[in-house]
């Protein structure tokens, strides 16, 4: 008998959910959130922003102080973790050290009404899925970090939960493994159509795996969007700076026509979407790759620092506008520090921050 | 869903057959746990004898002795049907109430309300009528004034009443859980409720009864001045020893306890380090050796010390002959009691510390080493601080044990009065002064509780979690050389001393009459343990068999109950947060801080009258052992559990196990060392305890220790030591068997030495 793992993915909905610790520590402040079924949504933010608390409230390990939490169409606000159809992969993996790999993976199945044989075959299927066939008799201490991580994933997966939660699952892995494991997680999620909520503070990881990213700051949601939306059109300085690197430059909005605006910096003019801004002072965010160096027309700047990183050059430029960070693909003829250049913007890329 | 028939209330959320979890709201089917307790309540009321049957709990003679109509044996329902004990009739209401909510979902507010009402009403009424109506009708004058004289009487609660009370209690806790307390976790709420109820009944209630005695004047009224007169007694607080006279018993006890606590902790740490962090080849032997003293009745160590260092002891005589130093009585007093107590309690410190020392995650130590700390710095800055919970616990246990010890000061104390013996003499002596005993008990309690709080303050809020959810692949480093040499020297020196003391005990048991006729003989063993083989089977003709079997039985019953209660309590204290947790912890530790003498006396005062009338039975012995020894289980459990990362529990919960299943399948298996410690300790203590036992034994249930003390009082030292020696071997065997049964926890850590093979 071979078992296969399928999905019972369900959406998750937060309605004005607040979590207070003690009297006055607000960890999560009245957030609204909708995670669609079968999507991978990442909670991203600096430490202490409330993302892990949010995740633990989905799991039922923390109880919301107010508001409603729905999984599928069931109100689970008051349900403890045991009674929610959710499983979680812990940052520490939390493998039970006294049980073998197979026992760890079978653990949850025995509480879900499966017979011994069926639980075993499902667990083996789960281990197969994460590429750990033949490791079932090992103890967790006899596995490498990456293997332990995959056991933890298998243990959560085999329950076919409505929602699968990951709490910084890659933080204990080395960089190479990290890329591979995150691709594996994404592949399994897409193959099985799982609803996954994923917590990380690594923006690159978030961009790579997510259907949607929820950026959190100070117990509240700063912006929700697809990786592309967040990267290309951040709502504010915080998001712009947190997702990828962004150069924030003060400018003057000199004209607005329809949904396009024209800005001016030191005489250099550039046209970009207005995002509802009126004329007057403003701020633009420009990604380092969207800064062009050496055009005829532009803003005068000086190269302060030049770093060779293999695939490209990284420059720090200074000028009357302040200091910016730029990258350039031409590694064969690099600029020397102290060189005077003109700096301009790519046609697409710079974005006005509506503040 | 796997079906568990044994064990505590099991709140199982109903599950669909294939993984999907149907939540707690399942309107169709009634909650199986609720049904169980409702049925239990009715069984207790309608089927089982309501009152205590005279032949004891284990006798079933009542089944043929007129049950169910004879009023002595009748269940509550039959009593009411015969118009007897009509005050039991109101219990029918709370018994019937829960039937109303059988088909209601848990989330219905009425469900919680009705269960709380039924549980509180039933439990409250049961208690109230139990205290209100005793063997002489109404127990209180105001009740008599209110309702007039009562002809009827009632005896102690039996099966029926106890089971009914239990059912009411758990109906109440289910109601409270349904209201959303502790995330609606029935298992946790029920456990808290259960522990609170039994601790109240068997710790607070008897102690309160005893302490009230401190304010009673000779004519039976209450007075504060009586208390103060007894409290400011010079025999209690005198500081004469500073200028050569005698100190009060309070100061003596305090100095002694601090010294014993410090020395036993240090020695225990030495042993633990030698066993876990040294290349010493005879670790096994050392480990076994350290277990010896706790399997020894305390006064036996005292006797052996007298045989060695007393006025006519072997060492004293030898030294006198060799150096011409005249024999002195230096042993009797502080030095003797100190040595005996350190011998007796070092193994307890060792048992606590070994778990903690093994529990320090090797990767922490390896991390420190990679951070350029050398072995000594690693030990001092990482290993030792991580052992702080263990050190604090070991000191606390040594301190409290010393305060409560009774056997050694009795044998070796001389003019050195300590609180525990003073209490004993206040009650059994010519003075018979319950009030003085109660005041002394209060002082003792104050000291032990202060130590308890000092320990908590020292540990503070730091985290000592070292076993995380990740398998740990590290190896414990060896001790630095500068440390290992003195540690090994101390451990070996102490081990040698212990061996000598035990050799003396063994030798003393085969000597005709110590000091007078040193010829060897087995006659003491024959007197105690002779058997005759007859056609009808074996006849136990020896004098000691009766008390021996009683002791084994009672210890075997008490040990698993003690361990279970202790570990469940430890789980609640470390893993759950609820209102009044500190008070809860205080309550569970209280019985440990009270010396056995006080427990013994207070149990007699509290439990020789209804509603709980168990004086003279085996149950009172079992109960006294459970509550005397439970704190060790709690401490051992807390020390180990605080090293298990919470993410283990949490992942189990998110995998669909409820808190009971998590406790049983994740926490318990990882706690095997703590379980072993608790089982061994409570079994052994039940066999060797003397202080509480001496008040609680009866002709039918005589314990080994009180029998031995009786022999000692008759100057029959040979038999006493022979019996003690036998006990030591029996307990050794028991410890060995337990070690095999519980097995070693498989955390799969690599060990430093290949010779360490799992048992």
pLDDT for the residue B338: 93
**Distance separating alpha carbons of residues B181 and B179, to the nearest angstrom:** 6
Nearest CA in chain B to A9: B20
Q: For residues B174 and B83, state if they share a domain.
A: yes
pLDDT for the residue A317: 93
Domain count, chain B: 3
Least confident piece of the model among A300-309, B170-179, B628-637: B628-637
Specify the higher pLDDT residue, B9 or B438: B438
**Distance separating alpha carbons of residues B515 and B717, to the nearest angstrom:** 11
Tell me whether residue B732 is in a domain: yes
Tell me whether residue A136 is in a domain: yes
Q: For residues B507 and B419, state if they share a domain.
A: yes
pLDDT for the residue B290: 62
**Distance separating alpha carbons of residues A50 and A19, to the nearest angstrom:** 9
**Distance separating alpha carbons of residues A65 and A69, to the nearest angstrom:** 11
Tell me whether residue B382 is in a domain: yes
Query: What distance in Å separates residue A205's CA from the closest CA in chain B?
Result: 23
Q: For residues A75 and A147, state if they share a domain.
A: yes
Q: Does the distance separating the beta carbons of A111 and B661 come in below 8 Å?
A: yes
Q: For residues B585 and B653, state if they share a domain.
A: yes
Q: For residues B709 and B672, state if they share a domain.
A: yes
pLDDT for the residue A38: 92
- The percent of residues above 90 in pLDDT, for chain A, comes to 37
| CATH number assigned to the domain comprising residue A203 | 3.40.50.300
Residues in chain B within 8 Å Cβ distance of A143: 471
Tell me whether residue B452 is in a domain: yes
Mean pLDDT of B457-475: 55
Q: For residues B349 and B440, state if they share a domain.
A: yes
Nearest CA in chain A to B650: A61
Tell me whether residue B336 is in a domain: yes
Structural domain of B67: 32-179
pLDDT for the residue B373: 65
Q: For residues A225 and A251, state if they share a domain.
A: no
Q: Does the distance separating the beta carbons of A96 and B471 come in below 8 Å?
A: no
Residues in chain A within 8 Å Cβ distance of B470: 92-93, 95, 140, 145, 148, 172
- Give the Å distances, CA to CA, from B754 to A332, B121, B287, B751, B757: 59, 62, 18, 7, 7
Tell me whether residue A200 is in a domain: yes
pLDDT for the residue B23: 41
Q: Which of A215, A237, A259 is a domain's end point?
A: A237
Q: Does the distance separating the beta carbons of A108 and B655 come in below 8 Å?
A: yes
- Does residue B476 surpass a pLDDT of 80? no
- Cα four-point dihedral sign B13, B19, B25, B28: negative
Domain count, chain A: 2
Residues in chain B within 8 Å Cβ distance of A80: 183-185, 653, 658
**Distance separating alpha carbons of residues B258 and B270, to the nearest angstrom:** 18
| CATH number assigned to the domain comprising residue B727 | 1.10.3720.10
**Distance separating alpha carbons of residues B563 and B630, to the nearest angstrom:** 7
Residues in chain A within 8 Å Cβ distance of B747: 97-98, 141
Tell me whether residue A6 is in a domain: no
Nearest CA in chain A to B469: A94
Q: Does the distance separating the beta carbons of A79 and B654 come in below 8 Å?
A: no
Q: Give the model's confidence band at B264: pLDDT under 50 very low, under 70 low, under 90 confident, else very high.
A: very high
Per-residue pLDDT reduced to its tens digit, B550-582: 888 898 899 899 888 888 888 888 888 888 887
Cα-based angle A193, A195, A197 (whole degrees, multiple of 5): 140
- The per-residue DSSP string of A82-98 comes to GGSSEEEE-TT----TT
**Distance separating alpha carbons of residues B26 and B754, to the nearest angstrom:** 55
Per-residue pLDDT reduced to its tens digit, A3-49: 677 778 899 999 999 999 877 889 999 999 999 999 999 999 988 88
Q: Does the distance separating the beta carbons of B1 and A111 come in below 8 Å?
A: yes
**Distance separating alpha carbons of residues A271 and A289, to the nearest angstrom:** 18
Per-residue pLDDT reduced to its tens digit, B532-558: 777 777 777 778 888 888 888 898 899
Per-residue pLDDT reduced to its tens digit, A108-140: 888 778 888 999 999 999 999 888 888 988 888
- Does residue B757 surpass a pLDDT of 60? no
Residues in chain A within 8 Å Cβ distance of B469: 90, 92-97
pLDDT for the residue A262: 92
- Does residue B365 surpass a pLDDT of 50? yes
**Count of CB atoms within 10 A of residue B326's CB?**
7
Q: For residues B500 and B543, state if they share a domain.
A: no
Which spans in chain A are helix H? 51-59, 101-110, 116-129, 145-157, 175-192, 203-209, 227-232, 237-242
- Give the Å distances, CA to CA, from A186 to A166, A205, A206: 12, 11, 11
**Distance separating alpha carbons of residues A343 and A268, to the nearest angstrom:** 9
- Does residue A77 surpass a pLDDT of 80? yes
Q: Which of B515, B550, B573 is a domain's end point?
A: B515
- Does residue B50 surpass a pLDDT of 70? yes
**Distance separating alpha carbons of residues B99 and A48, to the nearest angstrom:** 49
Q: Which of A208, A237, A266 is a domain's end point?
A: A237
Q: Does the distance separating the beta carbons of A111 and B654 come in below 8 Å?
A: no
How many Å separate Cα A194 from the centre of its chain? 17
From the list A59, A110, A141, the residue facing B749 with the nearest CB is A141
Tell me whether residue B247 is in a domain: no
pLDDT for the residue B17: 38
- The percent of residues above 70 in pLDDT, for chain B, comes to 83
Q: How many CB pairs under 8 A join A and B?
A: 152
Mean pLDDT of B306-316: 78
Specify the higher pLDDT residue, A286 or B410: A286
Tell me whether residue A115 is in a domain: yes
Q: Give the model's confidence band at B21: pLDDT under 50 very low, under 70 low, under 90 confident, else very high.
A: very low
Nearest CA in chain B to A154: B655
pLDDT for the residue B4: 37
Residues in chain A within 8 Å Cβ distance of B13: 82-83
Q: For residues B679 and B565, state if they share a domain.
A: yes
Q: For residues A86 and A117, state if they share a domain.
A: yes
Least confident piece of the model among A55-59, B67-71, B93-97, B481-485: B67-71
Tell me whether residue A1 is in a domain: no
Mean pLDDT for chain A? Answer: 88
pLDDT for the residue A125: 92
> B630 with B195: CB under 8 angstroms?
no
Residue closest to B595 by CA, chosen among B736, B414, B406? B406
Q: For residues A79 and A211, state if they share a domain.
A: yes
> Which of B645, B647, B654 is the best mutation test for A, with the most CBs of A within 10 A?
B654
Strands A313-319 and A299-308: antiparallel
- The per-residue DSSP string of B681-704 comes to HHHHHHHH--TTHHHH--SSS--H
Q: For residues A209 and A286, state if they share a domain.
A: no
Q: Does the distance separating the beta carbons of A111 and B656 come in below 8 Å?
A: yes
Q: Which of B132, B156, B179 is a domain's end point?
A: B179
Mean pLDDT of B662-675: 83
pLDDT for the residue B744: 54
- Does residue B336 surpass a pLDDT of 80? yes
Tell me whether residue B64 is in a domain: yes
pLDDT for the residue B22: 40
pLDDT for the residue A37: 93
pLDDT for the residue B754: 33
Tell me whether residue A132 is in a domain: yes
In terms of pTM, does the model score above 0.80?
no
pLDDT for the residue B749: 43
Q: What share of chain B is helix, strand, coil (3-state, %, to 5)?
A: 65, 5, 30
Q: Which of A194, A209, A237 is a domain's end point?
A: A237
- Does residue B644 surpass a pLDDT of 90? no
pLDDT for the residue B184: 74
Q: Does the distance separating the beta carbons of A92 and B1 come in below 8 Å?
A: no
Q: For residues A223 and A249, state if they share a domain.
A: no
Q: For residues B550 and B421, state if they share a domain.
A: no
pLDDT for the residue B530: 81
Q: For residues B339 and B470, state if they share a domain.
A: yes
Q: Does the distance separating the beta carbons of B647 and A109 come in below 8 Å?
A: no
Mean pLDDT of A234-257: 88
Q: Give the model's confidence band at B59: pLDDT under 50 very low, under 70 low, under 90 confident, else very high.
A: low
Tell me whether residue B632 is in a domain: yes
How many Å separate Cα B368 from the centre of its chain? 38
pLDDT for the residue B25: 43
pLDDT for the residue B291: 66
Tell me whether residue B41 is in a domain: yes
Q: For residues B286 and B403, state if they share a domain.
A: yes
Cα dihedral angle (B101, B107, B108, B110), rounded to 10 degrees? 70
> B659 with B187: CB under 8 angstroms?
yes
Q: Which of B141, B164, B179 is a domain's end point?
A: B179
Q: Does the distance separating the beta carbons of A94 and B647 come in below 8 Å?
A: yes
Q: For residues A211 and A257, state if they share a domain.
A: no
| CATH number assigned to the domain comprising residue A263 | 2.40.50.140
Q: For residues B589 and B474, state if they share a domain.
A: no
Q: For residues B564 and B626, state if they share a domain.
A: yes
Tell me whether residue A5 is in a domain: no
Compute and round to an integer the Cα radius of gyration of chain B: 28
Tell me whether residue A3 is in a domain: no
Per-residue pLDDT reduced to its tens digit, B727-751: 888 888 877 777 777 665 444 443 3
Structural domain of A282: 245-352
From the list A74, A84, A90, the residue facing B651 with the nearest CB is A90
pLDDT for the residue B464: 56
Q: Does the distance separating the beta carbons of B749 and A90 come in below 8 Å?
A: no
Residues in chain B within 8 Å Cβ distance of A160: 19
Q: For residues A79 and A212, state if they share a domain.
A: yes
Q: For residues A66 and A167, state if they share a domain.
A: yes
Query: What distance in Å separates residue B653's CA from the closest CA in chain A?
Result: 5
Q: Does the distance separating the beta carbons of A94 and B650 come in below 8 Å?
A: yes
pLDDT for the residue B324: 77
Q: How far apart are the first and last CA of chain B?
A: 33
Least confident piece of the model among A218-227, B256-265, B643-652, B737-746: B737-746
Q: For residues A219 and A262, state if they share a domain.
A: no
- Does residue B5 surpass a pLDDT of 50? no
Q: For residues A257 and A283, state if they share a domain.
A: yes
Q: For residues A226 and A254, state if they share a domain.
A: no
Peptide bond into B611 cis (omega under 30): yes
């Amino acid at each position: 008998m071979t078992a296969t793992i399928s999905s019972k993915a369900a959406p998750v909905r937060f309605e004005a959910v607040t979590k207070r610790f003690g009297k006055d520590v607000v960890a999560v402040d009245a957030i609204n959130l909708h995670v669609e079924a079968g999507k991978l949504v990442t909670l991203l933010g600096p430490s202490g922003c409330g993302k892990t608390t949010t995740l633990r409230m989905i799991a039922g390990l923390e109880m919301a102080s107010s508001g409603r939490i729905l999984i599928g169409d069931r109100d689970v606000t008051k349900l403890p973790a045991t009674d929610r159809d959710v499983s979680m992969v812990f940052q520490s993996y939390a493998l039970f050290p006294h049980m073998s790999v197979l026992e760890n993976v079978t653990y949850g199945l025995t509480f879900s009404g499966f017979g011994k044989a069926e639980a075993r075959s499902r667990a083996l299927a789960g281990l197969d899925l994460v590429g750990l066939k033949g490791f079932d008799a090992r103890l967790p201490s006899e596995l490498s970090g990456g293997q332990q991580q995959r056991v933890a994933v298998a243990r959560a997966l085999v329950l076919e939960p409505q929602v699968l939660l990951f709490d910084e699952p890659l933080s204990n892995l080395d960089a190479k493994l990290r890329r591979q494991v995150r691709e594996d997680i994404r592949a399994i999620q897409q193959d099985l159509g799982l609803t996954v909520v994923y917590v990380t503070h690594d923006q690159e990881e978030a961009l790579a795996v997510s259907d949607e990213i929820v950026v959190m700051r100070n117990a509240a949601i700063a912006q929700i969007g697809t990786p592309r939306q967040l990267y290309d059109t951040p709502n504010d300085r915080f998001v712009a700076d947190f997702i990828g690197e962004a150069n924030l430059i003060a400018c003057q909005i000199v004209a607005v026509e329809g949904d396009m605006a024209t800005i001016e910096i030191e005489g250099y003019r550039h046209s970009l979407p207005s995002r509802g801004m009126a004329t007057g002072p403003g701020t633009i965010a420009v990604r380092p790759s969207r800064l062009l160096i050496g055009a005829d027309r532009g803003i005068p700047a000086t190269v302060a620092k030049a770093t060779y990183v293999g695939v490209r050059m990284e420059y720090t430029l200074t000028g009357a506008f302040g200091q910016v960070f730029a990258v350039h693909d031409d590694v064969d003829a690099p600029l020397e520090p102290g060189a005077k250049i003109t700096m301009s913007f790519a046609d697409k890329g710079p974005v006005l921050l509506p503040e | 869903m796997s079906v568990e028939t044994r064990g505590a209330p099991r709140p199982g959320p109903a599950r669909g057959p294939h993984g999907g979890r149907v939540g707690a709201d399942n309107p169709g089917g009634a909650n199986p746990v609720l049904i169980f307790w409702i049925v239990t309540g009715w069984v207790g009321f309608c089927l089982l004898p309501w009152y205590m049957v005279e032949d004891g709990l284990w006798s079933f003679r009542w089944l043929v002795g007129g049950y169910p109509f004879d009023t002595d044996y009748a269940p509550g329902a039959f009593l009411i049907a015969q118009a007897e004990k009509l005050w039991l009739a109101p219990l029918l209401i709370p018994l019937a109430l829960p039937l109303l909510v059988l088909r209601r979902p848990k989330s219905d507010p009425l469900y919680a309300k009705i269960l709380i009402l039924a549980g509180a009403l039933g439990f409250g009424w049961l208690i109230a009528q139990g205290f209100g109506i005793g063997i002489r009708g109404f127990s209180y004058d105001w009740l008599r004034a209110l309702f007039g004289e009562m002809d009827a009487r009632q005896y102690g609660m039996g099966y029926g009443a106890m089971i009914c009370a239990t059912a009411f209690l758990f109906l109440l806790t289910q109601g409270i859980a349904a209201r959303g307390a502790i995330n609606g976790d029935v298992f946790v709420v029920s456990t808290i409720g259960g522990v609170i109820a039994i601790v109240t009944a068997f710790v607070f209630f008897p102690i309160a009864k005893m302490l009230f005695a401190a304010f009673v004047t000779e004519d039976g009224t209450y007075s504060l001045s009586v208390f103060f007169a007894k409290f400011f007694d010079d025999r209690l607080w005198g500081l004469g020893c500073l200028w050569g006279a005698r100190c009060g018993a309070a100061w003596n006890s305090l100095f002694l306890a601090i010294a014993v606590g410090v020395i036993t902790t240090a020695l225990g740490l030495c042993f633990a380090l030698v066993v876990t962090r040294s290349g010493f080849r005879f670790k096994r032997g050392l480990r076994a050796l350290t277990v010896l003293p706790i399997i020894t009745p305390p006064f036996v160590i005292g006797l052996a010390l007298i045989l060695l260092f007393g006025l006519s002891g072997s060492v004293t005589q030898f030294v006198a002959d060799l150096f011409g130093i005249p024999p002195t009585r230096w042993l009797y007093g502080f030095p003797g009691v100190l040595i005996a107590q350190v011998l007796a309690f070092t193994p307890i410190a060792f048992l606590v510390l070994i778990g903690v020392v093994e529990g320090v995650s090797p990767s922490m130590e390896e991390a420190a080493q990679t951070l350029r700390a050398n072995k000594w710095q690693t030990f001092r800055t990482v290993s030792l601080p991580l052992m702080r919970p263990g050190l604090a616990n070991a000191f606390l246990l040594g301190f409290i044990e010393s305060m409560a010890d009774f056997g050694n000061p009795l044998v070796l104390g001389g003019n050195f009065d300590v609180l525990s013996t003073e209490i004993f003499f206040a009650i059994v002596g010519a003075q018979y002064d319950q009030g003085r005993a109660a005041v002394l008990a209060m002082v003792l309690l104050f000291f032990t509780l202060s130590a308890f709080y000092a320990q908590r303050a020292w540990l503070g809020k730091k985290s000592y979690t070292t076993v995380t959810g990740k398998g740990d692949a590290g190896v414990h480093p060896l001790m630095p050389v500068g440390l290992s040499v003195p540690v090994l020297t101390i451990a070996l020196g102490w081990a040698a001393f212990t061996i000598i003391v035990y050799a003396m005990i063994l030798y003393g048991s085969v000597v005709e009459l110590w000091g007078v006729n040193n010829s060897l003989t087995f006659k003491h063993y024959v007197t105690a343990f002779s058997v005759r083989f007859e056609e009808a089977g074996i006849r136990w003709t020896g004098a000691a068999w009766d008390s021996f079997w009683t002791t084994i039985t009672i210890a075997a019953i008490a040990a698993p109950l003690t361990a279970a209660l202790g570990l469940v309590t430890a789980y609640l204290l470390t893993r759950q947060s609820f209102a009044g947790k500190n008070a809860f912890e205080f309550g569970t530790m209280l019985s440990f801080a009270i010396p056995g003498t006080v427990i013994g006396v207070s149990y007699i005062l509290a439990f020789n009258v209804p509603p709980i009338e168990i004086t003279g039975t085996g149950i009172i012995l079992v109960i006294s052992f459970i509550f005397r020894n439970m704190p060790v289980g709690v401490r051992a459990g807390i020390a180990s559990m605080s090293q298990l990362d919470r993410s283990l529990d949490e992942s189990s919960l998110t995998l669909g196990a409820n808190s009971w299943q998590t406790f049983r399948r994740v926490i318990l298996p990882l706690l095997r060392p703590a379980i072993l410690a608790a089982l061994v300790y409570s079994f052994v203590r039940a066999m060797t305890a003397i202080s509480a036992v001496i008040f609680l034994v009866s002709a039918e249930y005589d314990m080994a220790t009180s029998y031995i003390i009786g022999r000692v009082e008759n100057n029959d030292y040979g038999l006493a030591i022979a019996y003690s020696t036998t006990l030591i071997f029996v307990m050794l065997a028991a410890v060995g068997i337990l070690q095999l049964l519980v097995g070693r926890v498989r955390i799969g850590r690599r060990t430093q030495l290949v010779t360490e093979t799992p048992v």
